[in-house]
Amino acid sequence: LLGSLSYGLSITLFIHAMRGLGASRASTLFGISPLAGIALSIVLLHETPNSWFVIALIIMVAGTLFLIFENHSHKHLHLANIHEHAHIHEDGHHTHDHDESLRIHEGQSHSHIHEHKEIEHDHEHMPDINHRHNHVD
């Protein structure tokens, strides 16, 4: 029961991460999940890590830190589109209005079908759901 619930929760979180971070980044982060098992084995079972573990740990931590702190800035184009996803209005990409029946408070995340107008701008960003674009030299 615990295993099926844990696995089900991890897959649910993985799918949400793929939508927000993109498939490759979410897969990379999901791939380091054995670190939790390793940490538990060291703490609970008093396992002794060997040199291969230390080398692998350094590589996994470096890759994870690279993904977490990856930001870049350049001029980029957002094409006009209509879609639905969770968003807040203060992110600079979701400046649309709502009808009177929706009471959205400042900073409140919400989801509905909305339209993006074409916009070209420059700001620091990660390759999230709003920033999947090609880079031109």
- Kindly report, residue by residue over 14-59, the tens digit of the pLDDT: 888 887 777 777 877 787 777 778 888 889 999 898 898 889 889 8
| 85 to 16, 19, 45, 94, 126: CA distances (angstroms) | 11, 9, 43, 11, 17
Nearest to 89 by CA among 119, 69, 112: 112
**Using an 8 Å Cβ cutoff, are 18 and 26 in contact?**
yes
Nearest to 136 by CA among 95, 77, 85: 77
The pLDDT value given to residue 133: 63
Measured CA to CA, the distance from residue 27 to residue 21 in angstroms comes to 9
Give 60 or 23, the one with higher predicted confidence. 60
The pLDDT value given to residue 64: 78
Burial of residue 50 (number of CB atoms within 10 Å: 0-12, 13-18, 19+): exposed
pTM: 0.46
- pLDDT class for 119, splitting at 50, 70, 90? confident
The pLDDT value given to residue 127: 63
